[in-house]
Amino acid sequence: EAQVTQNPRYLITVTGKKLTVTCSQNMNHEYMSWYRQDPGLGLRQIYYSMNVEVTDKGDVPEGYKVSRKEKRNFPLILESPSPNQTSLYFCASSLYPPGANEKLFFGSGTQLSVL
Amino acid sequence: AQSVTQLDSQVPVFEEAPVELRCNYSSSVSVYLFWYVQYPNQGLQLLLKYLSGSTLVKGINGFEAEFNKSQTSFHLRKPSVHISDTAEYFCAVSDSPQKLVFGQGTRLTINP
């Protein structure tokens, strides 16, 4: 089954403790992206990747890192999480960049709470 | 840069009533427009998209949207809603080939 898999689904952590949210897709998609969803703000893009070893900042990249060493994986790293990073996170992928008429496929989300 | 405004944060309607969810975007240059739906505890799914051609676009689950270039709007409609349409709906516009810009979302609640 074609899908985007995120883990974990829920995560509670404390300020400053490094964490990684994994994202994997099995559709051989070139484009992958991370979003955060906050009430009243919709989805805001954190980082995106056009292909292996090619990543770029989205609208809210501060406090986050990503890597794209393999085509299928695009982990999101929070080196020193802070409470303002408490949010619902989504990974998404598409065959080609979504602004060029491509459908985005989303993971089920990761609810992160930073205490 | 593009921006998207969804004018209603919440829309309550009765079952079998019609519904319109409003979306306006900022620029009149050629864009691609999308509606995504998020059912409870799930990721987003594409509902429909406008690329060019006919201004009325039909999507899944009986939804349709009308592109209005002069008003820079892309409102989503359904003539008769069901309980299963309860979800959050996001309008999105292409800001560049590399990215979409999403609106704030509209929570559609269907009352029996």
- pLDDT tens-digit readout, B63-98: 999 999 889 999 999 999 999 999 999 999 987 888
Position of tokens 């620029």?
A: B27
Q: Which of A7-21, A88-102, B48-62 has the highest mean pLDDT?
A: A7-21
Q: From the CA atom positions of chain B, what is the Rg in Å? A: 13
Tokens linked to A36? 């955060």
Averaged pLDDT for residues A70-75: 97
**Do A100 and B94 count as a contact with CB atoms less than 8 A apart?**
yes
Share of chain A above pLDDT 70, in %: 99
Distance CA A111, CA A92 (A): 15
Q: Is B43 on the interface with A (CB under 8 A)?
A: yes
Q: Is A101 on the interface with B (CB under 8 A)?
A: yes
Q: Is A45 on the interface with B (CB under 8 A)?
A: yes
Which chain B residues contact residue A43 at CB under 8 A?
44, 90, 102, 105
**Helical residues (DSSP H) of chain B, grouped into ranges:** none
Tokens linked to B12? 């309550």
Nearest-Cα residue of chain B relative to residue A55: B98
pLDDT band, very low/low/confident/very high, at A99 (cuts 50, 70, 90): confident
Q: What is the pLDDT of residue B28?
A: 62
d(CA A56, nearest CA chain B) in Å: 10
The single-letter DSSP state of residue A98 is G
Q: What is the pLDDT of residue B85?
A: 96
pLDDT band, very low/low/confident/very high, at B37 (cuts 50, 70, 90): very high
**Position B76, amino acid:** L
Q: Is A40 on the interface with B (CB under 8 A)?
A: yes
The single-letter DSSP state of residue B84 is G
**Do A42 and B32 count as a contact with CB atoms less than 8 A apart?**
no
> Average model confidence (pLDDT) for chain A?
94
Q: What is the pLDDT of residue A2?
A: 83
